[in-house]
Chains A and B, each alone.
Chain A
Amino acid sequence: MNWYMKPSMTERRAMPPRAPALLETGLAGETVLLDPAGIAFLPDSRTMLVSDLHLEKGTALSGRRNFLPPYDTRETLLRLAVTLARHRPAVVVSLGDSFHDGNGAARLADEDRALLSSLMAGRQWVWISGNHDPDAPAGLPGDTASELCIGALALRHEPSAGSPGCGEIAGHLHPGARVVQRGRSVRRPCFAIDGRRMIMPAFGAYTGALNILDRAFHGLFDPQEMRACMLGQDRLYAVARNRLIGD
């Protein structure tokens, strides 16, 4: 019996993806559509937001001879391509930590660089700088900014301290949530959101999640208003704070 000799992903990949249900929400008066793939879309300005791509994370440890499969960049870009095709944004804002480290862009394999360029073509692209990638990615087009304002929303990598003056969308913290239902635990990346602020889930294929009950999120949200919008297969699940379980 050598069934294990011929794994095939073809069948699975050939299946047409079910159209995911978007979740519409308001943030400081602006309409925001959340996509269960982990990106946000601002319909008024046709802007797509993605955060913490952490491209080239797999190869980041190679100097220490730790050889993780180097396909995370490809995977992340392919997933990004799917969301770009779905929303056809005029503007893409990558909310920082787009590359796992300062040399990440230089390590891009030729095919991946070409793929990324094709995704960027024909639209405006803004790299917000993050703590992992404070400088503009080497050899790539696109604008660079430390933060950006669109309508009533400030877009930045790290959430500002305390209550934001205007609406804010940030990344950096890789929010995830955990619920326990009928003796079983489900943990998923999530959008953390109250009426004023939203923190985006990390999009990269090798990025993990930090439970939003962790100290790092302390003081960022109104506990009464906060929802964790957990990423599901084809929809989002909004869960109130009192149902969440810490790690």
Chain B
Amino acid sequence: MLGGDGTPPYLAGVTDAPAALVEDIDSVALPRRFRLWFEGRGWQPRPHQRAVLDLVTAGRSALLIAPTGAGKTLSGFLPSLIALDGRPRSRPGAAKRGIHTLYISPLKALAVDIERNLARPIAKMGLDVSVETRTGDTPGHKRQRQKLVPPDILLTTPEQLALLLASKDADRFFSDLQTVVLDELHSLVTSKRGHLLSLGLARLGRMRPGLTTIGLSATVADPDGLRRWLVPQDPPGAMAEIIEVKGGARPVIRILESDDRIPWSGHSARYAIADIYEEIRRNRTTLVFVNTRSQAEMVFQELWTVNEDSLPIALHHGSLDVGQRRRVEKAMETNSLRAIVATSTLDLGIDWGDVDLVIHVGAPKGASRLAQRIGRSNHRMDEPSRAILVPANRFEVLECRAAVEGNYLGAQDTPPLVDGALDVLAQHVLGMACAGPFTADALFDEVRRAEPYARLAREDFDQVVAFVATGGYALRSYERFARIRQTADGTWRLSHPSVAQQYRLNVGTIIEAPMLTVRLARSQRRSGPLRGGLVLGQVEEYFLEQLAPGDTFLFAGKVLRFEAIRENECFVSTAADTEARIPAYAGGKFPLSTYLADQVRAMLADPGTWSRLPDQVADWLRLQRDKSVLPDRDNLLIETFPRAARHYMVCYPFEGRLAHQTLGMLLTRRLERLGARPLGFVATDYALAIWSLGDMGAMAARGDLSWAALFEEDMLGDDLEAWLDESFLLKRTFRNCAVIAGLIERRHPGKEKTGRQVTVSADLIYDVLRTHEPDHILLKATRVDAATGLLDVRRLGEMLARIKGRIVHRDLERISPLAVPIMLEIGRETVGGEASDSLLAEIADELVHEAIDD
């Protein structure tokens, strides 16, 4: 909402742009119409809105960091609206004016929202300014018309910008461009979409050297990174101006106190459902945030089982059928819902009306993430947001407590920016060839002006260009069919117009996990043919992989029985069961942030802080202190103990599930070599447990096993490499890189029926490529991706360095209190995840038994 209705003009507690920054710039006088509009509503422009206006009018780029409700959107558009209003009227017959301002948001829905919100002041002031959206949903005729008659302000997404830039008339289309507004910049920059957008921005900067950019962002840990991101890195390190609006009213956050027992492990928070329901009853509209889709399903279902008053409680997550989601959103806008259970699909800045309470189920995993989600309640900056955290297990109690304190401290732990991905660069290079001929030197210089690619090596760039041309293989099989070709004048040119077509079909960096439509089967007779009924939504193919017909699972608020897969549809029937048999993976999708991990360790180490914890949790920690020892802030605690004919080792690095999983893979390899005969492991956000036939505690006592050597940093060398080569994780990453880079064509809805046996699967390509050309640029891109995203190698490396010489080992006779949560995860989690021969052997052996029994 622009300005926010009824907000006072100046907010207490808001410190605005430092005077020095704006001093050397002439303050822009507000045109009469604008002044009257502000006055008519009893407002004045806020200091940060003035600051952005003054800076942009003076031709400088700016990063505006402000909390929700500070009028960020108006800040972004005010300079353009004033500039556009001041234009001389275009004479009849004069050439059509091009786009003046480009607005880019991560969400289509956000662009639509903004269009609506801009329309009001434009109409009220009677401005001669046209505003239009251009997204994947924009019909073809409207896109064509926009090319001929562009609006003054175009609201679009990173993918659409890439497409606009990859056309031959891009130069003309953007010839009047003055300003680019980038919304929700903090969420864009950390992804591959951000990389693609940064490359687009570099191209725009080359076309329009005087271009100003305005970044709108929530508070981030490293604002300077975003400031560099906004301006060409020429000279390297150049930064946009920054205007930071501090504060807003401090949110009121508490942790749910339940009389029920807090579970040792798990993510369901079932124990707290009655309390959550009570809160929903007490408030007008409650937003219940969860971390994963399956959690959303579970909480939603549990809430309805206790919903005695039949309150309108809805479910919203990305896999539900679009129609259903839209209905929920509509109901939300009209305030006809009392509660909505949602995943991160509702994270970003869409206006959701009058939410007065946010309940966060499960640990928030990061203090910044929590702050942004809480910002969803109460879009007014001067009133405190209210939020309740509901830890799902005992470790989460510690984490929630740390996050609450982090939030009070204003701590920021947004993920760090990473260097631009090479697969995205490949897509961009092809796009630029579609726009027109280029020389490698010029394009390299241009690309390096984008912050994520400022450190790009020329060698990598050249390999990417070679990849785009002919696949870049050492075996030169494809010269004849090159997509782009270097001509006599040294420029690279598109070899055929069909290549541009190919590019357009594959543009974008979002690779959805392959999804299947979930459809209710009409016929439930066992023998009768399955006929399709109501569509419930979509579910990941890999989830269905583990189901056999008859298995039940939770989806769209129902317990469903899996019947069969036909083409790209999964047929289900409604199950009579109240419990689903197959628990969907419900662990956190986001790794615990380094900051929170550190806070949790600090809390464990300092009994003085335990009084702030629920009694049962404090008792648990005291018990651990008596039976074993508590990890302190900098060491690594390892416990070994026997249990049911096996030997266990549990360690507590608190570095997040991904890093622990990687550590588990590497440690089991080493333990195997040491003769400990490890059988498996399980990882959570907090701890790692490995079990084995050999007694690891006794081995350590005998000197056959040295903990220091076991946790030596060198495991990130050969062991990691050897494991990675075999890892299914790498195959999945490779597939995504291959699609983004254009090696494998994207699966398009409706064109997927080619079948598995016809297309070459990415796994097979990966196996062949890594055997025959392990240095290929795509494999390089894959390994970098996996190291940062899937394996968290960086964090593991930092941990191993931190704990050097600080390993504390306790050989115990039985399981310790602290080890209980992770021990409960064993059996609930599948181990490793590699499709293994041992499972086949089991089945084949069963067959033998069956045969003998006959």
A binds B: yes
Write the residues of chain A forming the contact surface with B, with a CB cutoff of 8 angstroms.
Answer: 1, 3-9, 11-12, 57-59, 62-63, 65-72, 74-75, 107, 109, 174, 179-188, 205-210, 230, 232-233, 237-240, 243, 245-247
Instruction: Tell me the complex Cα distance, A205–B549, Å.
Output: 31
- With contacts A75-B768, A184-B839, A238-B844 taken as known, whether A62 is within 8 angstroms of B545 at the C-beta atoms is no
| Nearest CB of chain A from residue B113's CB, rounded to whole Å | 39
Cβ of B761 < 8 Å from any Cβ of A?
yes
The 6 closest A-B pairs by CB, nearest first: A67-B471, A4-B783, A71-B772, A237-B844, A70-B477, A237-B840
The contact of A8 among B470, B774, B780, by CB within 8 Å, is B774
Instruction: Tell me the complex Cα distance, A69–B140, Å.
Output: 36
10 contacts between A and B (CB under 8 A): A4-B787, A8-B774, A62-B480, A68-B765, A69-B768, A182-B830, A183-B546, A206-B768, A237-B843, A246-B549
- With contacts A65-B502, A183-B830, A239-B843 taken as known, whether A4 is within 8 angstroms of B743 at the C-beta atoms is no
**Which chain B positions have C-beta within 8 A of A109?**
475, 477
Cβ of B784 < 8 Å from any Cβ of A?
yes
Q: Does B760 lie within 8 Å of A68, measured CB to CB?
A: yes
Q: Does A245 lie within 8 Å of B765, measured CB to CB?
A: no
Given contacts A71-B772, A210-B755, 5 further A-B contacts (CB under 8 A): A3-B716, A3-B793, A181-B840, A243-B843, A243-B847
Chain B residue nearest to A69 in the complex (CB): B769
- With contacts A57-B760, A65-B481, A72-B768 taken as known, whether A7 is within 8 angstroms of B773 at the C-beta atoms is no
Q: Does A7 lie within 8 Å of B774, measured CB to CB?
A: yes
Most chain-A CB neighbours within 10 Å: which of B481, B793, B835, B850?
B481
Q: Does A8 lie within 8 Å of B760, measured CB to CB?
A: no
Instruction: Tell me the complex Cα distance, A208–B767, Å.
Output: 13
**Which chain B positions have C-beta within 8 A of A184?**
546, 830, 835, 839
| Nearest CB of chain B from residue A59's CB, rounded to whole Å | 6
Q: Does B775 lie within 8 Å of A70, measured CB to CB?
A: no
Chain B residue nearest to A234 in the complex (CB): B837
Instruction: Tell me the complex Cα distance, A131–B787, Å.
Output: 44
**Which chain B positions have C-beta within 8 A of A239?**
840, 843-844, 847
**Which chain B positions have C-beta within 8 A of A71?**
473, 475, 768-769, 771-773
B interface majority secondary structure:
helix
Instruction: Tell me the complex Cα distance, A185–B413, Å.
Output: 38
**Which chain B positions have C-beta within 8 A of A9?**
725, 770-771, 774
Q: Does B767 lie within 8 Å of A186, measured CB to CB?
A: no
The contact of B725 among A1, A7, A210, by CB within 8 Å, is A7
Q: Does B780 lie within 8 Å of A179, measured CB to CB?
A: no
**Which chain B positions have C-beta within 8 A of A3?**
716-717, 720-721, 793
Instruction: Tell me the complex Cα distance, A56–B187, Å.
Output: 44
**Which chain B positions have C-beta within 8 A of A233?**
837
The contact of A230 among B565, B779, B840, by CB within 8 Å, is B840
Q: Does B481 lie within 8 Å of A181, measured CB to CB?
A: no
| Nearest CB of chain A from residue B482's CB, rounded to whole Å | 8
The contact of A12 among B725, B759, B769, by CB within 8 Å, is B725
Q: Mask for B800-818, Cβ within 8 A of A = 1, else 0?
A: 0000000000000000000
Q: Does B545 lie within 8 Å of A67, measured CB to CB?
A: no
Q: Does B793 lie within 8 Å of A1, measured CB to CB?
A: yes
Q: Does B756 lie within 8 Å of A209, measured CB to CB?
A: yes
**Which chain B positions have C-beta within 8 A of A4?**
721, 780, 783-784, 787
**Which chain B positions have C-beta within 8 A of A187?**
835
Q: Mask for B717-758, Cβ within 8 A of A = 1, else 0?
A: 100111011000000000000000001010000000001111
Write the residues of chain B forming the contact surface with A, with a CB cutoff of 8 angstroms.
Answer: 470-471, 473, 475, 477-478, 480-483, 495-496, 498-499, 502, 545-549, 564-565, 582, 716-717, 720-722, 724-725, 743, 745, 755-761, 764-765, 767-776, 779-780, 783-784, 787, 793-794, 797, 830, 835-837, 839-844, 846-847, 850
The contact of B757 among A59, A75, A174, A182, by CB within 8 Å, is A174
Q: Does B835 lie within 8 Å of A186, measured CB to CB?
A: yes
Chain A residue nearest to B832 in the complex (CB): A184
Instruction: Tell me the complex Cα distance, A232–B845, Å.
Output: 14
The contact of A206 among B717, B721, B760, B837, by CB within 8 Å, is B760
**Which chain A positions have C-beta within 8 A of B842?**
181-182
Instruction: Tell me the complex Cα distance, A51–B481, Å.
Output: 30
Instruction: Tell me the complex Cα distance, A187–B797, Å.
Output: 35
Instruction: Tell me the complex Cα distance, A180–B830, Å.
Output: 13
The contact of A7 among B477, B756, B775, by CB within 8 Å, is B775
- With contacts A206-B764, A210-B757 taken as known, whether A182 is within 8 angstroms of B481 at the C-beta atoms is no
Chain A residue nearest to B841 in the complex (CB): A237
Q: Does A246 lie within 8 Å of B565, measured CB to CB?
A: yes
Instruction: Tell me the complex Cα distance, A74–B496, Å.
Output: 30
**Which chain B positions have C-beta within 8 A of A59?**
477-478
**Which chain B positions have C-beta within 8 A of A107?**
477
Instruction: Tell me the complex Cα distance, A55–B462, Å.
Output: 30
Instruction: Tell me the complex Cα distance, A1–B798, Å.
Output: 11
- With contacts A69-B769, A181-B843, A186-B835 taken as known, whether A1 is within 8 angstroms of B797 at the C-beta atoms is yes
Instruction: Tell me the complex Cα distance, A179–B471, Å.
Output: 36
Most chain-A CB neighbours within 10 Å: which of B477, B565, B759, B775?
B477
Instruction: Tell me the complex Cα distance, A210–B759, Å.
Output: 12
**Which chain A positions have C-beta within 8 A of B565?**
246-247
Chain B residue nearest to A112 in the complex (CB): B475
**Which chain B positions have C-beta within 8 A of A11?**
722
The contact of B546 among A66, A75, A185, by CB within 8 Å, is A185
- With contacts A7-B779, A8-B721, A246-B564 taken as known, whether A65 is within 8 angstroms of B546 at the C-beta atoms is no
Chain B residue nearest to A173 in the complex (CB): B757
Q: Does B760 lie within 8 Å of A58, measured CB to CB?
A: yes
Chain A residue nearest to B581 in the complex (CB): A183
Instruction: Tell me the complex Cα distance, A6–B779, Å.
Output: 11
**Which chain A positions have C-beta within 8 A of B784?**
4
**Which chain B positions have C-beta within 8 A of A180?**
546-548
Instruction: Tell me the complex Cα distance, A5–B582, Å.
Output: 40
Q: Does A70 lie within 8 Å of B830, measured CB to CB?
A: no
Q: Does B839 lie within 8 Å of A179, measured CB to CB?
A: yes
| Nearest CB of chain A from residue B357's CB, rounded to whole Å | 37
| Nearest CB of chain A from residue B720's CB, rounded to whole Å | 6
- With contacts A72-B768, A208-B756, A243-B843 taken as known, whether A67 is within 8 angstroms of B478 at the C-beta atoms is yes
Q: Does A7 lie within 8 Å of B835, measured CB to CB?
A: no
| Nearest CB of chain A from residue B739's CB, rounded to whole Å | 12
Instruction: Tell me the complex Cα distance, A230–B846, Å.
Output: 15
| Nearest CB of chain B from residue A128's CB, rounded to whole Å | 19
Chain B residue nearest to A4 in the complex (CB): B783
**Which chain B positions have C-beta within 8 A of A247?**
565, 756
**Which chain A positions have C-beta within 8 A of B770?**
7, 9
Instruction: Tell me the complex Cα distance, A230–B835, Å.
Output: 13
**Which chain A positions have C-beta within 8 A of B721?**
3-4, 6-8
Q: Does A69 lie within 8 Å of B773, measured CB to CB?
A: yes
**Which chain A positions have C-beta within 8 A of B495?**
65
Instruction: Tell me the complex Cα distance, A188–B835, Å.
Output: 10
**Which chain B positions have C-beta within 8 A of A75?**
767-768, 771-772
**Which chain B positions have C-beta within 8 A of A188?**
840
Q: Does B847 lie within 8 Å of A240, measured CB to CB?
A: yes
**Which chain A positions have C-beta within 8 A of B797?**
1
Q: Does B794 lie within 8 Å of A1, measured CB to CB?
A: yes
Chain B residue nearest to A204 in the complex (CB): B764
Instruction: Tell me the complex Cα distance, A183–B544, Å.
Output: 11
Q: Does A65 lie within 8 Å of B498, measured CB to CB?
A: yes
| Nearest CB of chain A from residue B418's CB, rounded to whole Å | 14
**Which chain A positions have C-beta within 8 A of B545?**
185
Q: Does B765 lie within 8 Å of A69, measured CB to CB?
A: yes
Q: Does A70 lie within 8 Å of B745, measured CB to CB?
A: no
The contact of A74 among B725, B760, B772, by CB within 8 Å, is B772
**Which chain A positions have C-beta within 8 A of B496?**
65
**Which chain A positions have C-beta within 8 A of B794?**
1
Instruction: Tell me the complex Cα distance, A5–B787, Å.
Output: 12
The contact of B478 among A1, A70, A210, A246, by CB within 8 Å, is A70
**Which chain B positions have C-beta within 8 A of A183?**
546, 582, 830
Instruction: Tell me the complex Cα distance, A168–B283, Å.
Output: 73
The contact of A208 among B548, B760, B787, by CB within 8 Å, is B760
